[in-house]
Amino acid sequence: MLKLTSRYAAALLEFAQERGLEDIYRQALLVVVKKAPARSWEATGALAEFLQHVPPKEVEPVLYRFLDLAREKMDLLEVEVISAVPLTGKQLATLEEKLIRIFRKQMEITTTVDPSILGGLRVIVGNTVLDDTIKRKLADMKNSVYKGVYFKQ
């Protein structure tokens, strides 16, 4: 099945390059994010045209693989930003500017709100985690206190 998924995803990438990679990428992203069943999706665009030829069980894996291939082709980095409260548009734009300067690539940013981090941000870029949350800082302080009590020099 993995081989079939990869073939369909590669074919979708080629199809998308002929018909507008960015548009089809956005459409696929919407289907995946909304967890909408692709067969009941009401779009009549190029993505829906292609998905008619994909076995129903393969649609979701094909879309995920296609998104990975398309990000690679468009030189996009997938970034997840976790904050305690929703970020404003200005905060998100400033963060995106800084990340683009650091990584020198365009970003696709998804945001998640997790009140348990108490404050600050956790930014996940590929295999890199930038954790500047209050929760982590409190854990670091707790560890340093334990080290001072239990491991006196």
Question: Taking the complete model, does pTM exceed 0.85, yes or no?
Answer: no
Residue 79 has pLDDT above 60, yes or no: yes
Taken in order of first residue, the domains within the chain and their CATH numbers are 2-73 (no CATH), 76-148 (3.40.30)
What local confidence, expressed as pLDDT, does residue 42 receive? Answer: 45
- Residue 84 contacts residue 102 (beta carbons within 8 Å): no
Residue 103 has pLDDT above 80, yes or no: yes
Average pLDDT over residues 93-105: 90
Residue 38 has pLDDT above 60, yes or no: no
**Residue 37: band (very low, low, confident or very high) from pLDDT cuts 50, 70, 90:** low
Of 28-42, 62-76, 85-99, 127-141, the range with the lowest mean pLDDT is: 28-42
CA distance 125 to 104: 12
Q: How far is CA 57 from CA 38, 40, 52, 104, in A?
A: 10, 14, 12, 37
CA distance 37 to 54: 13
What is the residue-averaged pLDDT of the chain?
A: 86
Average pLDDT over residues 63-71: 92
Average pLDDT over residues 13-27: 90
Average pLDDT over residues 100-112: 89
pLDDT digits (tens, 9 = 90+) for 112-143: 999 999 999 999 998 889 999 999 999 988 88
Show the tokens assigned to 102.
């650091």
Residue 84 has pLDDT above 50, yes or no: yes
Residue 48 has pLDDT above 90, yes or no: no
